[in-house]
């Protein structure tokens, strides 16, 4: 009886890693097909890993699509701009797919895919809102604060210009929507109509 309990415990413990391994292996297999899944917030660390994959895939075959599946609540602006720059630099087409919740920086990445290759699932929820750019103010003088605000304004204007270019919306419309105090939620049809995606899957 004692030995049986030990075996049962061993079987139970070994089953959990096996399930986790199968779950992990599914992502590994998809990564070999040049598919990247984003299911976390955008951070500096995440951006480093994602851009490394983009550069690797581009080096492997600059003519074959890279697919990015996006299910994220958003995150750091510097991180998303880092990813955006690499997407624009590489030669490989980047297909973006919005699924689940595609909020803030996630919506920005969705629209940054290659034109004609930006997709959204029928029940995905996309959200855009006032851009939240922030970093610690170094220094305490009024000149320091003025420099901070000027930099903040430059970053915001750059983001708005990028969004206008990729959505086809006028800069005035983009400024109106992305300086609103309210979050703007879009369903799949509205996402395509806005220009954040090209097709509904």
Q: Is residue 129 within 8 Å of residue 183, measured between CB atoms? A: yes
Neighbouring residues of 182: CB distance < 8 A, sequence distance ≥ 6: 129
Identified catalytic residue from 12, 14, 73, 104:
104
First to last CA, the chain: 55
Residue 129 a catalytic site member: yes
Residue listed under structure tokens 């699509």:
65
Identified catalytic residue from 129, 142, 166, 199:
129
Q: Is 183 exposed, middle or buried (0-12, 13-18, 19+ CB in 10 A)?
A: exposed
Question: Which residues are annotated as catalytic?
Answer: 104, 129
């Amino acid at each position: 009886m004692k030995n049986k309990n030990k075996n049962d415990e061993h079987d139970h413990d070994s089953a959990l890693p096996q399930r986790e391994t199968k779950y992990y292996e599914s992502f590994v297999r998809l990564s070999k097909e040049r598919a990247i899944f984003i299911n976390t917030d955008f951070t500096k660390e995440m951006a480093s890993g994602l851009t490394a994959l983009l550069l690797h895939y581009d080096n492997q075959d600059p003519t074959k699509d890279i697919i990015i599946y996006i299910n994220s609540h958003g995150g750091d602006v510097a991180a998303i701009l880092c990813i955006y720059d690499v997407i624009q630099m590489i030669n490989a087409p980047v297909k973006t797919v919005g699924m689940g919740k595609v909020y803030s920086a996630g919506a920005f990445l969705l629209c940054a895919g290659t034109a004609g290759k930006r997709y959204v699932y029928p029940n995905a929820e996309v959200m855009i809102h006032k851009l939240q750019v922030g970093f610690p103010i170094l220094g305490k003088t009024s000149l320091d604060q003025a420099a901070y605000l000027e930099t903040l304004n430059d970053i915001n204007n750059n983001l708005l210009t990028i969004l206008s270019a990729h959505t086809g919306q006028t800069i005035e419309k983009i400024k109106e929507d992305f300086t609103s105090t309210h979050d703007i939620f879009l369903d799949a049809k509205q996402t395509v109509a806005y220009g954040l995606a090209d097709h509904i899957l």
